[in-house]
Each structure stands twice: as structure tokens, then as C-alpha cells.
Amino acid sequence: MAIALNQPAPDFELASSELVDGRPGKKIKLSDLRGKPVVLAFYPLDFSPVCTNENTCFRNDLGKFNELGAQVLGISVDSVWCHKAFAESLKLTYPLLADFQPRGAVASSYGLFMEDKGITKRATVLIDKQGKVAWFKEHDGARSDEELLTALRKLA
């Protein structure tokens, strides 16, 4: 079932690429981020060409997202260890969340898990400060940070 605009975003808690006691896996809960806009960047797999390019673009434009007070979160079905290696290789400073076990459960709650392929669709969900879905788009190719930043500016 696809998510709907102006409805509460499905809450979740996932392990991330961020460290706890020297190991990846710090838990991040969406509802704990209320009060700031959140960019949920769903993508298929770490280290794939388009996903690598997109995450590089997020890294390069992160200052613009930060200026708008937004928290960027990458989400795929890869493990926290894979996310850690991917984040280190690209020098990413925002969390990558592991929708790993059960595989794709969070993506499914947003209508974005491709069961037949076992991966997440490429999509962006913007969550407003109150925790509601403010903007949503599935992407056929690489996403446009400028399009996302324009949508975020409208939330301010």
C-alpha cells in the first residue's frame, strides 16, 4: 500500500551506519526526529552505480539540506556493515539505515519494497516537522537534489 500525502508517516526504528561502542548499528527512530523535516531517501543497494552517484550528490549538497534544518536518511535493504563500508568509501556524514531484518519491512510500510527483486524502489519521502508525509516521488533514474530542496523550502 502506498503512502498518502498529509498523513502520518509510518514510524520505524532501524539500525544505522552510525557507531555504538565502535560498531555500526545505532538505532534511529523516525518519531524522535519530530520538529525537523526529514528526507527519507530510499534506494536499492549500496555500491551500485546510480546509488553511489546519488549518495555522492547528497554528500555534496548536505550543507544545503542542513541550512533548511533537514535530516537526510538513506534507507536500503543492506546490512549496517555494508552501510558502514559504503559510507566510509563515499565519506558520507548522514546515517544510512538498514531495512535488513525483516528484509524491506519499512520500505513495505511505505509501499516501496519490490518483493520479486528483494530490494527497495528508488524514492524520496519528505516528512514535515509534525511527522506527516509532505512530498513523495518514485524516481525512474537518479533523483534531483534541487527538486528535493525546492520541495523542502516549501515546507518552511
Does residue 84 lie in a domain region? Answer: yes
Tens digit of pLDDT for each residue in 12-34?
Answer: 999 999 999 999 999 999 999 99
Distance CA 6, CA 135 (A): 9
Catalytic, 57? Answer no
Domain extent, residue 114, equals 13-155
Does residue 111 lie in a domain region? Answer: yes
Distance CA 23, CA 39 (A): 25
Does residue 98 lie in a domain region? Answer: yes
What pLDDT, on a 0 to 100 scale, did the predictor assign at position 1?
58
The identity of residue 63, as a single letter, is G
Does residue 37 lie in a domain region? Answer: yes
| Candidate list 15, 51, 87, 98, residue with the active-site label | 51
Distance CA 105, CA 49 (A): 24
CATH of the domain at 111: 3.40.30.10
pTM for the model stands at 0.95
Residue 25: all three cell numbers together: 548499528
Does residue 21 lie in a domain region? Answer: yes
User: Per this entry, what is the length of the chain?
Assistant: 156
Split into its structural domains, the chain has a count of: 1
Low pLDDT (below 50) residues in the chain? none
Q: Please enumerate, as own/partner, the contacts of 131-138 that have beta carbons within 8 Å and a separation of 24 or more.
A: 131/8, 131/9, 131/11, 131/30, 131/31, 131/34, 132/6, 132/7, 132/8, 132/9, 133/3, 133/4, 133/5, 133/6, 133/7, 133/8, 133/9, 134/5, 134/6, 134/37, 135/5, 136/3, 136/5, 138/112
Does residue 122 lie in a domain region? Answer: yes
Distance CA 146, CA 137 (A): 14
Distance CA 112, CA 89 (A): 26
Note the Cα 112 to chain centre separation in Å: 12
Does residue 131 lie in a domain region? Answer: yes
Does residue 124 lie in a domain region? Answer: yes
